[in-house]
Amino acid sequence: MSRQDEGRGGADGGPTVTERVLGILSAFGPGAEALTLSGIARAAGLPLSTAHRLVGELAAWGALERGEDGRYRIGLRLWEVGALAPRSLGLRERAMPYLEDLYEATRQNVQLAVRDGHEVVYVERLAHPEAVRVFSRVGGRMPLHATGVGQVLLAFAPSVVQEEVLAGPLPPLTPKTITEAHALRRALAAVRREGVAVCDGMVDPVALSVAAPVRGEDDRVVASLSVVVPSAGAEPRAIVPAVRAAARGISRALGSPAARRRPLGVVTPLTGAAAGEPAGAERGA
């Protein structure tokens, strides 16, 4: 009874079965899409026989699939369930047409991301094969302070979150990454003022990103949208309006009251999807 516990939220005894199962799923990640049974056991800290049993059950259900090479991968069934996550599906579904337009107009990288804790999670990404290489991938994570989408999400996050991030370490990804709290604080203020974040070379020296906030029903910022272009010869001013317009269009599609108001005399540059639905028609003014 005096044995120090390792999991189980402070109670004594080993981790619960549920925790072990989730631990098995955690063993998979970017760069670890296919694992051997032993690999899973090692990563999850389980005895081989235990892992064997649990993995067998997961595979029987379809959460894992066993390839011809004997290694396990995440199964289609788990993907299906995951696809039901509202922060992915609902958002994605409505955002797609706008992302399409933006992609089509820029022929570069278009990204859609949400915040989870102190990180950005990329929910969707459209990348032209010839565009600048970006490090993000769908389902991938990045720190908030170093990315365009991250700065937007942070700028509109609850102040508790902001302070936590500002208090914590701000590791640099490139020499240009903001690493000082007061500089970040100023950047966030600018983002709130301008409604966009422009990050030059903070993730990759040769890439520049322009990001804008996407708002939900209650006008809270629920996501962020960005375009990544080559840093060299980039003309942010040409991109900013398009990004802003797309973000606003998605916000409107999500039911944001603020986005419903017409920006006086501003014609949405990307008419394709935006013009499709006469959103403001019902309630004149």
Q: Taking CB within 5 to 8 Å according to partner kind, which of DNA, its own copies, none is near residue 118?
A: none
Angle at 124 between CA 67 and CA 59, to 5 degrees: 25
Q: Which of 10, 30, 47, 233 binds its own copies (CB under 8 A)?
A: 30
| Number of residues written out for the chain | 285
Q: Taking CB within 5 to 8 Å according to partner kind, which of DNA, its own copies, none is near residue 206?
A: none
Binding site for DNA (CB under 7 A): 12-14, 16-18, 20, 36-39, 46-50, 52-54, 70-71
Query: The sheet that has 72-74: what strands, in order across it?
Result: 34-35, 72-74, 64-66
- Strand, coil or helix: 255: coil
Tokens representing 224 are: 């962020």
C-beta of 26: minimal distance to DNA in Å?
16
Kindly state the helix (H) or strand (E) to which residue 226 belongs, with its residue range. Answer: strand 221-230
C-beta of 21: minimal distance to DNA in Å?
9
Q: Give the nearer residue to DNA in terms of CB position, either 52 or 92.
A: 52
Tokens representing 260 are: 């419903």
105 part of the interface to its own copies, by CB under 8 A: no
266 part of the interface to its own copies, by CB under 8 A: no
Q: Taking CB within 5 to 8 Å according to partner kind, which of its own copies, DNA, none is near residue 39?
A: DNA
Q: Which of 10, 70, 129, 175 binds its own copies (CB under 8 A)?
A: 129
Cβ pair 167, 181 in contact under 8 A = yes
Q: Which residue is listed with tokens 């399409």?
A: 100
Contacts of 183-188 with CB under 8 Å at 24 or more apart are 184/145, 184/151, 187/151, 188/151, 188/154, 188/155, 188/162
Q: Taking CB within 5 to 8 Å according to partner kind, which of DNA, its own copies, none is near residue 71?
A: DNA
Q: Taking CB within 5 to 8 Å according to partner kind, which of its own copies, DNA, none is near residue 52?
A: DNA
